[in-house]
Amino acid sequence: MAVTNVIDSSVTGALNATSGGGAGASAELQDSFMTLLVTQLQNQDPLNPMENAELTSQLAQINTVSGIESLNDTLESINGQLDTSQVLQASGLIGSGVLVPGTRVLVGEEGAATPFGIELPQAADEVRVTIRNSSGEVVRTFDTFSLGAGVESVTWDGITDDGTTAAEGAYTVSVIATSGGEPLDSVTLNYALVSGVSLDGEGTPLLDLGGVSEQVTLDDIRQIL
């Protein structure tokens, strides 16, 4: 009685049935594998026995299953360490100023303004920066300047185009960047102060920016000031 394909089909089904079952499922799968292998050897055709290469291949499959299980355990351990590292890193940012995607600039007493930033995918020949008040009126237009690729922080002295000091409040900054006359996909960044850290439902740390922006992840931080 030939049972050449019994192990292959049975193991495939067992793998699908026990996927994610942990060490217990893996051990059960190994036992089933060996039982099927012995059955195959006992019932093989004496005139057409299993070749050595085929037997070696069957035996190698069980080691592959064990190796995958061990690899999964290792990856879970690494992921746990990464999560812990991210929480510690996020906690260390409390009290620090950061640049994250956003367009808000805050002006305090005597025209003191929060910095903002510009992120470019490549160097720009011309960068135009405009600041508007809450009514959408332009209060300051920066002189055109060039800028390299990456993230660059920019400061505003709080002086408007008419030479007066900007009133306290929130303003909006807009950026237009071009290279060789072609527009670039620039990202405007605003300043925020990290005031706390929380975790979402998946354990990912979220940074509380004190109401200046919504909660953000570590990936949203472009620069620490």
Full DSSP string of the chain: ---TTHHHHHHHHHHHHHTT-HHHHHHHHHHHHHHHHHHHHHTS-TTSPPPHHHHHHHHHHHHHHHHHHHHHHHHHHHHHHHHHHHHHHHHTTTT-EEEEE--EEEE-GGG-B--EEEEESS-EEEEEEEEE-TTS-EEEEPPPEEE-SEEEEE---SB-TTSPBPPSEEEEEEEEEEETTEE---EEEEEEE--EEEE-TTS-EEEE-TTSS--B-GGG--EE-
- Residues 49-63 have pLDDT tens digits of 555 556 556 556 666
For residue 88, what pLDDT band results from cuts at 50, 70 and 90?
confident
The answer on pLDDT for 209 being more than 50 is yes
Query: How many angstroms separate the CA atoms of 91 and 109, rounded?
Result: 30
Report the distance separating Cα 18 and Cα 7, nearest Å: 16
- Between 140 and 15, the higher pLDDT residue: 140
What is the residue-averaged pLDDT of the chain?
79
Q: Which of 49-53, 98-102, 141-145 has the lowest mean pLDDT?
A: 49-53
CA distance 179 to 28: 62
pLDDT at 24 over 50: yes
Distance CA 146, CA 156 (A): 17
Residue of 69 and 184 predicted with greater confidence: 184
Mean pLDDT score, 137-156: 96
pLDDT value, residue 15? 46
Output the pLDDT for position 75: 65
Tell whether the model's pLDDT for residue 80 goes beyond 60: no
Domain spans, the chain: 6-73, 101-191
Residue 106: name the closest of 170, 152, 58, 149 by CA: 170
Q: What is the domain class of 101-191 according to CATH?
A: mainly beta
174 has a pLDDT exceeding 80: yes
Range scoring the smallest mean pLDDT among 8-12, 30-34, 40-44, 175-179: 8-12
